[in-house]
């Protein structure tokens, strides 16, 4: 039986790609003509352009965002015996990156309004072995640069940003990737700046760190057949870099589209706050780049709708949604060995039960936003969808 396409997909890349399709094809053709498929001209050009856009001096393209975290932390000197602070509510790539460089991850809870790392909780978790903090700029909103820097200065910590969802995000006049020693980005296709496959980058102001990442990504060799580090093979493909070079000049405009869609959601959802629907708070103003638009379906209000019911009813009307993320890192089966148990991070655990990501992508029309919120209102009005009080 042939499946029916959703009337409003969670992500639709066609509106981004169609206007620049010929440019993308020309960029790919350029790589084919040059034949520099690995570490080619387009990689260097994109490294320079993207690092400049992030207000830092150096960018090193790698195979994916997870590698950017692992290799970036390693280049910053993080190794076995070091403790690294990170939030419990993040995609597992953040945790995997810390584990891959041999460090001990120390998870902390998050703020219930923003879903960002709780820096007060992070401070309480610091020990003499703590070397670094990995703030995750979740959903497109940055962790406060001033508060991060104050914490890092007080305890002599390295700041390594996970900016995989925060391309060109800003807060307090600082751009994502420019707060600390280095940062990791992902160019997974659905990101604000996405390739047509996997890709990642480490950005930094430190030339020595950039040099070490370049060495680590290429079998630990600063030059051919001369290996000074125990490295790996993690290189951004030239074709992906060429595509990203075409897309980068459009990123600011695409981010503005996302912000406008978020404003429409905020206005339309405001009357539903009393019914238990609470958008994640924006403390960054225009600096929030809304990789995702996330709201909480509050579980502690008698008239709030059950998230699963709401999601199912929206799907029945052809509206796709997502959950980012349904299970916090410390409760994932793969990481039981870390020793955390249910209840360790109550805010993160509760958020994972409540959050729902609505459709969000540049090119999404006002009519589509209205349709999404209308479907939510209809679901709220359906008796079977309302959670009954005890």
The CA distance from 380 to 382, in Å, is 6
Across the range 222-233, mean pLDDT stands at 95
On whether the CB atoms of residues 48 and 60 are closer than 8 A, the answer is: no
- Going by pLDDT thresholds of 50, 70 and 90, the confidence category of residue 384 is low
Q: CATH 3.40.640.10 spans which residues of the chain? A: 14-250
Across the range 125-131, mean pLDDT stands at 98
Segment 16-41, tens digit of pLDDT: 999 999 999 999 999 999 999 999 99
On whether the CB atoms of residues 358 and 301 are closer than 8 A, the answer is: no
For the cut 90, the answer to whether the pLDDT of residue 309 exceeds it is: yes
Segment 316-352, tens digit of pLDDT: 999 999 999 999 999 999 999 999 999 999 999 999 9
For the cut 50, the answer to whether the pLDDT of residue 387 exceeds it is: no
On whether the CB atoms of residues 142 and 128 are closer than 8 A, the answer is: no
On whether the CB atoms of residues 348 and 342 are closer than 8 A, the answer is: no
Determine how β-strand 182-186 pairs with β-strand 200-204: antiparallel
Percent of the chain topping pLDDT 90: 93
Helix (H/G/I), strand (E/B), else coil: 230: coil
Instruction: Give the 3-state secondary structure of 234-268.
Output: CCCEHHHHHHHHHHHHHHHHHHHHHHHHHHHHHHH
For the cut 90, the answer to whether the pLDDT of residue 303 exceeds it is: no
> Which residue is catalytic, options 52, 191, 252, 336?
191
Burial of 17 (0-12, 13-18, 19+ CB in 10 A): middle
On whether the CB atoms of residues 330 and 125 are closer than 8 A, the answer is: no
- Going by pLDDT thresholds of 50, 70 and 90, the confidence category of residue 9 is very high
pLDDT of 304: 65
Q: Say if domain 251-385 classifies as CATH 3.30.465.10.
A: no
Burial of 170 (0-12, 13-18, 19+ CB in 10 A): buried
Report pTM: 0.95
pLDDT of 382: 79
Q: CATH 3.90.1150.10 spans which residues of the chain? A: 251-385
The CA distance from 256 to 287, in Å, is 10
Q: Is 212 considered catalytic here?
A: no
- What average pLDDT does the chain have? 95
Segment 200-227, tens digit of pLDDT: 999 999 999 999 999 999 999 999 999 9
Burial of 336 (0-12, 13-18, 19+ CB in 10 A): exposed
Q: Which residues are 106's β-sheet partners?
A: 85
Phi and psi torsions of 24, nearest 5°? -65, -45
pLDDT of 305: 80
- CATH for 14-250, among 3.40.50.720, 3.40.640.10, 3.10.450.50, 3.40.50.2300? 3.40.640.10
For the cut 50, the answer to whether the pLDDT of residue 268 exceeds it is: yes
pLDDT of 49: 98
On whether the CB atoms of residues 337 and 305 are closer than 8 A, the answer is: no
């Amino acid at each position: 039986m042939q499946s029916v396409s959703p009337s409003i997909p969670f992500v639709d890349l066609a509106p981004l790609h169609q206007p620049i399709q010929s440019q993308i094809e020309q960029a790919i053709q350029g790589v084919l003509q040059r034949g520099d498929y690995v570490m080619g001209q387009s990689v260097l050009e994109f490294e320079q352009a993207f690092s400049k856009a992030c207000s830092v001096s150096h960018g090193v393209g790698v195979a994916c965002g997870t590698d950017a975290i692992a290799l970036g932390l390693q280049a910053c000197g993080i190794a076995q015996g070091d403790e690294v602070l990170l939030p419990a509510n993040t995609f597992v790539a953040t945790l995997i990156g810390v584990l891959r460089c041999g460090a001990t991850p120390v998870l902390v809870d998050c703020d219930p309004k923003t879903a960002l790392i709780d820096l007060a909780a992070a401070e309480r978790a610091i020990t003499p072995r703590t070397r670094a903090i990995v703030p995750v700029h979740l959903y497109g909103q940055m962790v406060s640069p001033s508060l991060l820097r104050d914490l890092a200065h007080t305890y002599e910590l390295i700041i390594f940003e996970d900016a995989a969802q925060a391309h060109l995000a800003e807060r307090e006049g600082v751009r994502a990737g420019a707060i600390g020693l280095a940062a990791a980005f992902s160019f997974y296709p659905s990101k604000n700046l996405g390739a047509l496959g996997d890709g990642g980058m480490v950005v930094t102001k430190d030339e020595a760190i950039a040099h070490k990442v370049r060495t680590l990504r290429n079998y630990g060799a600063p030059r051919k057949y001369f290996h000074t580090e125990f490295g790996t093979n993690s290189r951004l493909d030239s074709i992906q870099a060429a595509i990203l070079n075409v897309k980068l000049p459009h990123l600011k405009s695409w981010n503005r589209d996302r912000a406008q869609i978020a404003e429409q959601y905020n206005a339309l959802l405001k009357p539903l706050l009393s019914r238990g629907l609470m958008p994640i708070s924006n403390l960054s103003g225009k600096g929030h780049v809304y990789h995702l638009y996330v709201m909480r379906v509050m579980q502690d209000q008698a008239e709030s709708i059950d998230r699963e019911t709401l999601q199912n009813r929206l799907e029945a009307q052809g509206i796709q949604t997502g959950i980012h993320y349904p299970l916090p890192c410390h409760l994932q089966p793969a990481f039981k060995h870390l020793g955390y148990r249910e209840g360790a991070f109550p805010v993160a655990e509760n958020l994972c039960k409540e959050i729902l990501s609505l459709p969000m992508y540049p090119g999404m029309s006002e009519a589509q936003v209205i349709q999404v919120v209308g479907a939510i209102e209809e679901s709220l009005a359906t008796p079977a969808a309302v959670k009954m009080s005890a």
